[in-house]
């Protein structure tokens, strides 16, 4: 049976609709980082509910909350947002990157970490009945710490046992090929995994090497001009589409700061992709000679079909 696991229960994949595949609903990173940069702390239920409603009002149906335990995940709050908005919210089991790990992650065995991730997917998160709908690991910039390799192996094993979709954090889009090599050795089906933040490294050759492995490519920094322009993202995406990888691209904004969210007084917020980025992508696809029918299919794939395929458990 195929299903998508949301915090309010399993749903049919067809119910997912238009989806943002990497956002943060409630997050509180480790204190030393939060004290230094309080903009990272997302702690207002009222504001995030309004932000999610804004997305819903554009036709949005589902959001993946990529906040892991080491970044201040709050499953009870996420459930409250899901109930208040009617938007499908998918929670995350696993971990972010070594910089955020508490000492217990260093001390735990690989098997203990695997068991914990499996428990969060199949039984519930943090002692609740609310289950995770994806698993996650991450690595640092141009390096993979030994503890991150342990976590990677633990999460990969949990993915094999649960068949949950798997997301990986890359720092500035680096170490993706090294992650792939390690995950392959763990025997994971690469077609049920997305590598994150690749649009922070908009190198077409690099993206093609990743795409050839069958993984999803997460363009989840959309709007963040401080890294690269949206034109750079679109240029790489269109080349990937021309080369046959239309069904392997995921879109999101990773709006993990108050200053990125309109309800906190920042921007561009959860509505940017449906209201501004997608129309721009449509124009650019037209400039490249794609027919209206083909453009409609591309947008449907990027916003609905690809997230649905990625997020579906296949047991």
Which one of 3.20.20.140, 3.60.40.10, 3.90.330.10, 3.10.129.10 gives the CATH number of domain 2-314?
3.20.20.140
Three-class SS state of 268: coil
At residue 1, the pLDDT reads 78
Give me the mean pLDDT over the 204-223 stretch.
Answer: 98
Domain boundaries, the chain: 2-314
pLDDT digit string, tens, across residues 180-191: 999 999 999 999
pLDDT digit string, tens, across residues 126-142: 999 999 999 999 999 99
Task: Flag whether pLDDT at 91 surpasses 80.
Answer: yes
* Contact indicator for 122, 194 with CB cutoff of 8 Å: no
pLDDT digit string, tens, across residues 246-302: 999 999 999 999 999 999 999 999 999 999 999 999 999 999 999 999 999 999 999
Q: What is the pTM of this model?
A: 0.97
Task: Flag whether pLDDT at 64 surpasses 70.
Answer: yes
Distance CA 63, CA 49 (A): 12
Task: Flag whether pLDDT at 41 surpasses 90.
Answer: yes
Task: Flag whether pLDDT at 315 surpasses 70.
Answer: no
Percent of the chain having pLDDT more than 90? 99
pLDDT digit string, tens, across residues 2-26: 999 999 999 999 999 999 999 999 9
Give me the mean pLDDT over the 42-58 stretch.
Answer: 98
Alpha helices in 75-225 (DSSP H): 75-85, 103-107, 110-122, 146-162, 176-185, 204-211
Task: Flag whether pLDDT at 53 surpasses 80.
Answer: yes
Q: CA torsion sign, 211 to 215 to 221 to 227? A: negative
At residue 314, the pLDDT reads 79
* Contact indicator for 259, 26 with CB cutoff of 8 Å: no
* Banded pLDDT at 57 (limits 50, 70, 90): very high
């Amino acid at each position: 049976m195929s299903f998508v696991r949301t915090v309010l229960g399993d749903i049919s994949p067809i119910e997912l609709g238009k989806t943002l595949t990497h956002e943060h609903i409630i997050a509180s990173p480790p204190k030393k980082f939060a004290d230094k940069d309080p903009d990272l702390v997302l702690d207002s239920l009222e504001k995030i509910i309004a932000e999610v409603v804004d997305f819903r009002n554009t036709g949005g149906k589902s959001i993946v909350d990529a906040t892991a335990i080491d970044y201040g995940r709050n499953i009870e709050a996420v459930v409250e947002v899901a109930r208040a908005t009617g938007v499908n919210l998918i929670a995350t089991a696993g971990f972010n990157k070594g910089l955020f790990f508490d000492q217990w992650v260093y001390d735990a065995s690989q098997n203990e970490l695997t068991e914990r991730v499996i428990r969060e997917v199949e039984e519930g998160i943090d002692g609740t009945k609310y289950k995770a709908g994806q698993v996650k690991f991450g690595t640092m910039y141009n390096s993979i710490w030994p503890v991150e390799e342990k976590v990677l192996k633990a999460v990969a094993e949990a993915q094999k046992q649960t068949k949950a979709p798997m997301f990986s954090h890359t720092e500035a889009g680096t170490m993706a090929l090294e992650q792939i090599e390690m995950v392959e050795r763990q025997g994971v089906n690469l077609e049920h995994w997305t590598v994150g933040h690749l649009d922070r490294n908009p190198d077409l050759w690099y993206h093609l090497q990743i795409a050839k492995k069958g993984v999803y490519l997460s363009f989840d920094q959309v709007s963040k001009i401080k890294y690269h322009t949206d034109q750079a993202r679109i240029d790489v995406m269109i080349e990937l589409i021309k080369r046959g990888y239309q069904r392997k691209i995921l879109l999101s904004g990773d709006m993990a700061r108050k200053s990125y969210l309109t309800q906190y007084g920042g921007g561009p917020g959860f509505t940017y992709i449906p209201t501004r980025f997608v129309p721009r992508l449509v124009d650019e696809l037209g400039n490249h000679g794609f027919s209206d029918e083909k453009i409609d299919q591309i947008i449907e794939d990027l916003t609905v079909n690809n997230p649905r395929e990625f997020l579906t458990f296949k047991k």
